[in-house]
Amino acid sequence: MENNNNHYSIETKDLCILYGGFTAVRNVNIKVEKQKITAIIGPSGCGKSTLLRAFNRMNDFVPNSYVTGEIFLHGQNLYSKQVDPVEARRKIGMVFQKPNPFPKSIYENIAWGARINGFKGKMDELVEQSLRSAALWDEVKDKLHQSAYALSGGQQQRLCIARTIAIQPEIILMDEPASALDPISTLRIEDLMQELKKNYTIIIVTHNMQQAARVSDYTAMMMIDDNRSGGVIEFDETKKIFTRPSDKRTEDYVTGRFG
């Protein structure tokens, strides 16, 4: 890492995300710490996913969308001309709300991303290592060449995590990764996240406040303002957000009085 004394992974400065003329997310200033889990919570439609997708330039694909302000990754603005979005997405992996494995074999699901990014070395080892890291190896080691669609939803989601790990990102973005899963699969994903944070910085969007409280170290609370733009109203350690929030709206939300 270029900047050793900087223990932040991502920093945003006055980040606004706009669709056409509409400001979907306004003035976000947060600092995401390395090798910690940061949760983004808030009611529906407050721009949580939009913010998350700005971190790996997924919003580039939405017509007429653009950002103002800055997102720093190791001190470099993610949206500057020098940064190639494809390269950025390799460093900042993403796990989506609905498990979306490729319609290929389990093995190929992991090998494909590695191959297109020019992976040199033993592919078999990489596949095994990635599946082990995603706590999936023991369940699939005998059927690596079967379709990924034959797996259960929870297994598919862990495969998607394995696929992301395989390209060795620094940051993993998770967009409500457990919302389509049953409680047991959800728990497994949460356990997995605790393992993963030893090596990766994780940012997770979640609807589920208990989940945020269980897994995250930091929490960003988002809320919609009078112009229907979302914004981070409070960003702090998770413990503090859930016990002594400084904003009244956060308190209402986390105690279930609203949202």
What residues pair up with 10 in beta bridges, in sequence order? 32, 73
> How many residues sit in the footprint of other proteins (CB under 8 A)?
27
112 forms part of the interface with other proteins (CB under 8 A):
yes
Q: Which is nearer to other proteins, 131 or 241 (CB)?
A: 131
The H or E element spanning position 108 is helix 106-116
Among 66, 68, 86, 195, indicate the residue that binds other proteins (CB under 8 A).
Answer: 86
Should residue 129 be labelled a site residue for other proteins when binding is judged by CB under 8 A?
Answer: no
Residue 99, CA atoms < 13 Å, CB-side half-sphere: 26
Name which of 123, 206, 109, 190 is nearest 156 in CA terms: 109
**Binds other proteins (CB under 8 A): choice among 1, 21, 63, 125:** 63
Whole-angstrom CA distances from 187 to 122, 151, 193, 232, 240 are: 32, 17, 10, 27, 23
The verdict on 168 binding other proteins (CB under 8 A) reads no
Q: Of 13, 96, 129, 217, which one interacts with other proteins (CB under 8 A)?
A: 96
Label the pairing between strands 218-224 and 230-237: antiparallel
Q: How far is the CB of 168 from other proteins (least distance, A)?
A: 11
The whole-angstrom separation of Cα 111 and Cα 113 is: 6
Least separation in angstroms between CB 226 and other proteins: 31
Q: Which lies closer to other proteins via its Cβ, residue 144 or residue 233? A: 144
Tell me the window of 5-13, 127-135, 156-164, 188-196 that interacts with other proteins (CB under 8 A). Answer: 156-164
Cβ–Cβ under 8 Å, residues 75 and 6: yes
Site membership for other proteins, residue 197 (CB under 8 A): no
Please report, as ranges, the residues that interact with other proteins according to CB under 8 A. 56, 58, 61, 63, 86-87, 89-90, 93-94, 96, 98, 100-104, 112-113, 116-117, 147, 149, 160, 163-164, 167
